[in-house]
Amino acid sequence: MTTDAKKVSPIGLVLETALDATVIMGVDGRVRDWNRQAEATFGWSRQEALGRPMAELIIPEPDRPSHIEGLRRHLETGAPGILNRRIEVVATDRRGRLFPVELSVARIDDGDDLSFVGFIRDISDRLTAQQALQVERDRSQSVLDNMLDALVLMDRDLRVLQVNQAALRMEGRSAESMLGRTHEEIWPGPEAERLRQRYREVLGAQVALAFEEPWNDGRGTMWLEIRAQPTPEGVAVFYRDVTKRKTAEAVLRDSEARLLTLANVAPAMVWMSSDRGEVEFLNDRWFAFTGVSPGAEVDPASLLHPDDAVRAAKIWEGALKTGKGFEAELRVRRGDGQFRWFLSRSEPVLDREGGVAGWIGASIDIDDRRRAQERLELMVNELNHRVKNNLAAVQSLAAQTFRGTLSLPEAREAFTARLMALSRAHDILTRQQWEGAQLAKIATDVLAPNLANLAAVTLEGPPVSLGPNAALTLSMAFHELCTNALKYGALSRPEGRVALTWAVEPSGMLHLTWTETGGPKVSPPAATGFGSRLLTRSLAAELRGVVSLAFDEAGVVCTIDAPLDHGRLAPASALPQITWPPEGAF
């Protein structure tokens, strides 16, 4: 080994080949050594650098006085200054370019010789990357800070890495009070533990999770809509205050519940549809009436009466076209198959712009009202007819009564009695709403007021209901028979008796017999009177039957045979039994 080789130490070889620029400076501030990386970094060759003041080579001119002062202070006092520290400073090169470097200085004591070695690394690229990263971070933070949703980014230990302004506002905290702290440190307690459990689920399954949760932060209870998303760092939690929405939803649910209750308690079938007429709601009363199961799919229009379906379709089509409500009377099929009349009304539900958002309607059962109206119209027509008939009857009574051989007082008395008989029949029919009267009731009300001894007359027969015309005519017939019996027949003597009997034959014929016994001998009259004409002509015609009068010596016998289907208005089983003598009669 030569003498020159022995002078190259291992440390010198390391410094020469180091990736950092290595500069050795003596106590006089001049360069003692300058490696290859120093040449590359600062542009000065080793020969040019050796022996020159280091400050002139690498330190910017404004910083040189402080460098010289620091070196002097260290040599005099031993103050460490920048020794044994890694610092970042600005350096200059041969061209005067300023650039950042990372500097570390060590002191070398070699006996009486003292020097300083500096390790210098150009960090321009690193700082440029750091600056770019910081710019990107600032840009990202700006975007996050302008989000309406609150954001908290946490690592896998649920330690807060980043927050945005929305989160700080919502939490009422500063960034310093949250960054670097765990979720449990910021939000302790069992309520927050439920949230942490959800976040751990997201970390474990690496699947996003969205949910709503009530939250009490000491300022009151609020509802949060939360979305937890897994990230490379851990989990990102986005959340927003949806208390107003939840309150509005609760109000809407309450309103819908009230509307549903109102629709179900209303005495009508209530329905709702879309703006195109698609049925969306039918109340309980509709299902109860139609017999349709709530889960079944059925078109309400299919339950309309065939004669109303086409008319209803045209009305509905016109409403959808014009956007105007409608009213119609329609027949709807009940669950048992019977059709009933309903008054249906519908009105459009308008949105804020005035457009049709849907339809709501109600159908009220008016079947009984329509039937009552029809009955009233029938009764009015019947009344008009009855009044005309009664006037004609009164006119006929007057003509027949006053045309006879009776004196005026006798005629007046007979006419009044006949009018009273007619009036009693009217009373009976009025109580029955002119739908008819019982044969026994007619006989009772006509005969009882004229009898001093009710036992003198017996009534026997099954319940039979007569039509209005038959009831009026038969009451007049009973009056004439009773009047004749009181004057000339069986009832003119105390021992005289009258039996009024009737029966219904299997053929449907009514057989009625008026039989007088115990009275004076009877002989046929020389002339036909009003009573005879009433019985044999008017009564026979009204009942569409046969009436005969027999003047036996034992007493008058009047028989009537008539088909019941022309006079009976109700089944015999539905008629009450009339007792004789009547209660309260004299």
Burial class of 460 by CB neighbour count within 10 A (0 to 12, 13 to 18, 19+):
exposed
- Asked whether the predicted pLDDT for residue 585 surpasses 90, the reply is no
Distance CA 267, CA 271 (A): 13
pLDDT digits (tens, 9 = 90+) for 243-294: 888 888 888 888 778 877 877 777 888 888 898 888 888 888 888 898 898 8
pLDDT digits (tens, 9 = 90+) for 466-499: 777 777 777 878 888 888 888 888 888 889 999 9
| Three-state SS letters, 462-522 | CCCEECHHHHHHHHHHHHHHHHHHHHCCHHHCCCCEEEEEEEECCCCEEEEEEEEECCCCC
- Asked whether the predicted pLDDT for residue 423 surpasses 80, the reply is no
> What is the topology classification, in CATH, of domain 253-365?
Beta-Lactamase (3.30.450)
Percent of residues, the chain, with pLDDT higher than 90: 27
Distance CA 340, CA 345 (A): 16
**CB 361: neighbour CB atoms within 10 A?**
20
Q: Which pLDDT belongs to residue 583?
A: 47
Which of the residue ranges 139-148, 177-186, 486-495, 565-574 would you say has the lowest mean pLDDT?
565-574
Class of the CATH domain delimited by 3-122: alpha beta
Q: Which pLDDT belongs to residue 147?
A: 73
Instruction: Report, as an integer, the average pLDDT of 155-163.
Output: 92
Q: Which pLDDT belongs to residue 382?
A: 64
CATH, range 141-241: 3.30.450.20
Buried residues in 272-306 as b, exposed as e (16+ CB within 10 A) = bbeeeeebeebbebbbebbebeeeeeeebeebbee
Q: Is there a shared CATH topology between the 3-122 domain and the 407-574 domain? A: no
| Residue whose token pair is 């460098």 | 67
Instruction: Give phi and psi for 21, each to the nearest 5.
Output: -70, 130
Buried residues in 475-487 as b, exposed as e (16+ CB within 10 A) = bbbbbbbbbbbbe
Instruction: Report, as an integer, the average pLDDT of 34-44.
Output: 92
- What are the Cα distances from residue 279, in Å, to 312, 315, 328? 15, 16, 18
121 in helix, strand or coil?
Answer: strand
Distance CA 200, CA 183 (A): 12
Distance CA 146, CA 168 (A): 12
pLDDT digits (tens, 9 = 90+) for 337-391: 999 999 989 899 988 888 898 998 888 888 888 888 888 887 677 666 666 556 5
Distance CA 195, CA 188 (A): 11
Structure tokens, 586: 């004299």
Distance CA 296, CA 289 (A): 14
Distance CA 160, CA 171 (A): 14
Distance CA 475, CA 443 (A): 7
Structure tokens, 559: 């028989």
Distance CA 163, CA 552 (A): 126
Q: Where are the domains of the chain?
A: 3-122, 141-241, 253-365, 407-574
pTM of the entire predicted model: 0.42
Measured between its terminal Cα atoms, the distance across the chain in Å is 172
Average pLDDT, the chain: 81
Of 566, 563, 579, the residue nearest 443 (C-alpha): 579
Q: Which residue type, as a one-letter code, is found at position 253?
A: R
Distance CA 218, CA 213 (A): 16
Do the Cβ atoms of 206 and 235 come closer than 8 Å?
Answer: no
Q: Which pLDDT belongs to residue 567?
A: 43
CATH, range 407-574: 3.30.565.10
226 in helix, strand or coil?
Answer: strand
Buried residues in 222-254 as b, exposed as e (16+ CB within 10 A) = bbbbbebebeeebbbbbbbbbbeebeeeeeeee
pLDDT digits (tens, 9 = 90+) for 126-147: 877 676 666 666 666 666 667 7
CA atoms within 13 A on the CB side of 224: 23
